[in-house]
């Protein structure tokens, strides 16, 4: 069942979303050569706590950190650690914050110093893929209208969408119904209603769509070793243009 939020609940989600977006921005600013992914995690943990919120990811299904930091061929769920970022890396940061009974969830991929033109194009196409889906996320449309718009844009630009992981409803729980794939034919799935809050999150591979699950139980990489990017916001469905709750969005 897809939960429709009341105006009061939406106000609480705006608050969670703002903190989550600020945590993403902080992480993004830290992406520089010489910084470790653990330093980013520590800074995000302290920032979220300083706002009176809790990191949504910490201990979620045993996840050991406050943020996912996924570098280069890592698509999602990279665990922060001693890895030192270096010039030319692309760094996906995914973060959630919980306050007032609600979660925010968002992600973005940031360049570390100077990166290749092709890596920048991957980042840009992934972000725009989100906004193509976003434009379809309005009352009366169906879930797969979002999915189709993301896939069509990404593939028209020569990249691939990951199939095994999807966007999702978000609210009192980080993962609620419905699932929101980044691929599929339009016109399928539940109808969108104003007051639904969802996380739309394209995961885009520069090469093939195939993934590889790492033995740490979390990290997901591209099978072909090529780069991947991720971009996510928590959004509110309205009768018109949706509202980004994890605002400001990069
Ligand atoms: N942001 C991720 C998602 O959208 C959640 C990360 S998984 C966690 O599903 F375990 F790290 F929390
Ligand atoms: Co998510």
Indicate whether 92 belongs to any domain.
Answer: yes
Q: How far is the CA of 154 from the centre of ligand 1 (A)?
A: 22
Question: Residues 174-230: pLDDT tens digits?
Answer: 999 999 999 999 999 999 999 999 999 999 999 999 999 999 999 999 999 999 999
Please give the residue range of the domain that contains residue 137.
Answer: 7-244
Question: Rounded to an integer, what distance in angstroms lies between the CA atom of residue 120 and that of residue 186?
Answer: 29
CA separation, residue 179 to residues 131, 151, 155, 159, 189 (Å): 18, 15, 21, 22, 9
Query: How many structural domains comprise the chain?
Result: 1
Question: Residues 19-34: pLDDT tens digits?
Answer: 999 999 999 999 999 9
In the block, tokens 């600020």 appear at 22
**CA quadruple 241, 121, 79, 35: dihedral, nearest 10:** -110
Q: How far is the CA of 41 from the centre of ligand 1 (A)?
A: 14
Indicate whether 52 belongs to any domain.
Answer: yes
Q: Ligand 1 in contact with 63 (CB < 6 A)? A: yes
Question: Residues 52-94: pLDDT tens digits?
Answer: 999 999 999 999 999 999 999 999 999 999 999 999 999 999 9
The pLDDT score that the predictor gives to residue 110 is 98
Indicate whether 129 belongs to any domain.
Answer: yes
For residue 90, the domain's CATH number is 3.90.230.10
The pLDDT score that the predictor gives to residue 21 is 98
Q: How far is the CA of 57 from the centre of ligand 1 (A)?
A: 6
Indicate whether 249 belongs to any domain.
Answer: no
Indicate whether 67 belongs to any domain.
Answer: yes
- Torsions phi, psi for 71 (to 5 deg): -105, 130
Q: Ligand 1 in contact with 58 (CB < 6 A)? A: no
């Amino acid at each position: 069942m897809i939960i429709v939020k009341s105006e009061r609940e939406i106000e609480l989600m705006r608050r969670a979303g703002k903190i989550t977006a600020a945590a993403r921005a902080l992480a993004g600013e830290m992406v520089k050569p010489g910084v470790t992914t653990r330093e980013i995690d520590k800074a995000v943990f302290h920032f979220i706590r300083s706002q009176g919120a809790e990191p949504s990811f910490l201990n979620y299904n045993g996840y050991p950190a406050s943020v996912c930091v996924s570098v280069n061929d890592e698509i999602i769920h990279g665990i922060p650690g001693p890895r030192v970022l270096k010039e030319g890396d692309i760094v996906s940061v995914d973060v959630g914050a919980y306050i007032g009974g609600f979660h925010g969830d968002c992600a973005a991929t940031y360049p570390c110093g100077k990166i290749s033109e092709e890596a920048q194009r991957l980042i840009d196409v992934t972000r725009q893929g989100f906004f193509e889906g976003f434009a379809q996320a309005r009352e009366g449309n169906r879930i797969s209208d979002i999915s189709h718009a993301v896939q069509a844009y990404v593939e028209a630009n020569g990249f691939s969408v990951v199939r095994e992981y999807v966007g999702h409803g978000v609210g009192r729980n980080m993962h609620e119904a419905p699932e929101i794939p980044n691929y599929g034919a339009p016109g399928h799935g539940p109808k969108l209603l104003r007051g639904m809050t969802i996380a739309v999150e394209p995961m885009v591979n520069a090469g093939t769509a195939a993934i590889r699950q790492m033995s740490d139980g979390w990290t997901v990489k591209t099978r072909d070793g090529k780069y991947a990017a991720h971009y996510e916001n928590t959004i509110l469905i309205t009768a018109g243009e949706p509202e980004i709750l994890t605002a400001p969005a990069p």
